[in-house]
Amino acid sequence: MPLSRRDFLATSVSAAASLTLTERLHAATLARPALQRAGASRPCVVASENGLRGVRRAYDMIVRGEDTLDAAIAGVNIQELDPDDDSVGLGGLPNAAGVVQLDASCMHGPTKRAGAVACLEDIATPSLVAKAIMDYTDHVMLVGADARRFALDMGFVPQPLLTEKSRQHWLRWRARQNPTDFWLDHDDDVAIRFTTGTINMNAVDATGDISSVTTTSGMAYKIPGRVGDSPIIGAGQYCDNGVGAAGSTGRGEANIKVCGGFLTVEFMRQGLAPQAAALRTLERMIAMTETRLLDPRGRPRFDIQVYAVNRAGAHGAASMYGGAQYAVCDERGARLEPCAFLFPRAEMPASPMPVQRARGR
């Protein structure tokens, strides 16, 4: 039956359908024996560092018995709706044309369903649009103007996403692209804000049901229409209810080429702990990186983080370079923990990304 906008908005954050006993038994047969013998799972939520508030909200929802995907999306909604977070949602840094374009994807382990949206404009919560695609269509991904039209049809309310703070960052970046152009410098000697910011969140409950979500405004000042890893199922995030979930933040182009979310989950399926699986995925990314993005020692001129949790509730994360942290919430409460890493932060080479610091006069 057709679903009214009012009905959708009333149910967009409701619990997803539960599995039948037959489906649960089938999912259990896909898990490795070591994971099956673990018994009851330990509720746990992991996320990128900017998800510290979100993991607490998601964990509280999970222990109250709410669905893992609803909980994870509620967690990332905090950042999506925070105008002071310029890496996702409202206030996200715009593309080169000054337009905020958002990407997101989600997966629901119990039902094996997924949804994604890319190049979405004027809607602050792309994670919820991705879930609407999953819940109400036979598709997985919608993009661009048609994704926006779908969101409006489903009752989402459009709003300007470019805050004055983010607009000022964009003006500084634009003014300093070419010293001979006709744009006056916006400020003198100011660091230009440049980010590949994203939030990834993965959650497991006491029954071992798992979900994952990733949402982003993408690489700052990107070419209009650019799509990173966040909305790509298997890259920006991936979830297998019999094994675990994983996602990432950082340079999306590097992650797309190795299907990093999927690869990390597959390493856990083979028996690796979440942290070890994340490190192995990073090693694969380096092996697949073109020479122009490597220093003479073969180390990447970019950073990326991978986050993972298995169905037993064990968690871990890894970064190319030291100093990164990730958010986690379990029975010990919400906190930041250090990411494992391949190389010390001090050894990170200069980035090949577009100019990040204003030139002096």
CA–CA separation, 263 and 284 (whole Å): 9
Residue 10 has pLDDT above 90, yes or no: no
User: 201 in a domain, yes or no?
Assistant: yes
pLDDT tens, 166-186?
Answer: 998 898 888 877 766 666 665
Strand partners, 211: 108, 203
pLDDT greater at residue 258 or residue 172: 258
pLDDT of residue 351: 72
User: 92 in a domain, yes or no?
Assistant: yes
pLDDT of residue 25: 33
User: 222 in a domain, yes or no?
Assistant: yes
State the pairing for strand pair 325-330/315-321: unpaired
Range in 8-22, 42-56, 75-89, 118-132 with the lowest mean pLDDT: 8-22
- The active-site residue out of 68, 198, 216, 281 is 198
Residue 243 has pLDDT above 50, yes or no: yes
Query: What average pLDDT does the segment 107-121 reach?
Result: 98
User: 225 in a domain, yes or no?
Assistant: yes
Residue 231 has pLDDT above 80, yes or no: yes
Q: What percent of the chain has pLDDT over 70?
A: 81
User: 139 in a domain, yes or no?
Assistant: yes
pLDDT of residue 310: 98
Q: Are 260 and 229 in contact (CB under 8 A)?
A: yes
From the CB of residue 177, how many other CB atoms can be counted at a distance below 10 Å? Answer: 13
pLDDT tens, 58-73?
Answer: 999 999 999 999 999 9
CATH of the domain at 194: 3.60.20.30
CA–CA separation, 360 and 329 (whole Å): 44
Spatial neighbors of 15 by CB under 8 A, at least 6 apart, are: 66, 67, 70
Using CA atoms of 231, 234, 239, 243 in order, give the dihedral in degrees to the nearest 10: -170
Amino acid at the residue 50: N
Q: With bands split at pLDDT 50, 70 and 90, how would you rate the model's confidence at 195?
A: low
CA–CA separation, 88 and 261 (whole Å): 19
Count of domains in the chain?
A: 1
Structural domain of 94: 36-347
pLDDT of residue 350: 78
Query: Known catalytic residue: 198?
Result: yes
User: 358 in a domain, yes or no?
Assistant: no
Q: What is the mean pLDDT of the chain?
A: 87
pLDDT of residue 8: 52
User: 184 in a domain, yes or no?
Assistant: yes
User: 337 in a domain, yes or no?
Assistant: yes
Give this prediction's pTM.
Answer: 0.85
- Check residue 88 and report its DSSP letter: S
